Amino acid sequence: MADLPLSVQVSSLQSIIPLRFAILRPNEADTSSCDYAGDRDPSAVHLRLMRAGSAIGMASILPDFRGFSDRVAAVARVRGLGVLPGHQGTGLGRILLKRTLEIAAERELLPLWGSGRSHLGDFYHSVGADTISDPYVISGTGDHLDFYLRAYRPESSRRGNDA
């Protein structure tokens, strides 16, 4: 299965909600927590990672300007990034995030900010994210941190934290 072709497709919000639920909130009673502010904004972009005709991951780019300091600001937010449990730890999340950043650049939605579960900090740093917050708790999903991305920068090509 590893050699089957992958694609990242712009998709409808309706196709993203069930993926968010399965990947990010599988223990909740319904999908209401998977409907984010900004999802229906005309500039929002919803993406599905596809393999052999099946959706195995998702990400959304949502308008959400945020200033973090006098030097760092982001014009949009990446939310709901994830791959199905059977595909985690295989590099597919990195592929999905790289393509998400490429699409954000094409649509002039960079730089991005986002929040991610703290235990995934090494993953975010490996693609060039800079941590911009101390860890904090989101009820029901655990410890998180905020990060900032200008573009996909694999760890081997980074020159340090320049945020």
Domain boundaries in the chain?
6-157
Q: Do the Cβ atoms of 127 and 94 come closer than 8 Å?
A: yes
3.40.50.11740, 3.40.630.30, 3.10.20.30, 3.40.50.300: which CATH number matches 6-157? 3.40.630.30
Exposed/middle/buried for residue 102 (C-beta within 10 Å: 0-12, 13-18, 19+): middle
Q: For the segment 34-84, what is each residue's pLDDT rounded down to a tens digit?
A: 889 999 999 999 999 999 999 999 999 999 988 877 767 888 999 999 999
Q: Radius of gyration of the chain from Cα atoms? A: 15
Q: Show the tokens assigned to 80.
A: 């709901």
pTM of the prediction? 0.86
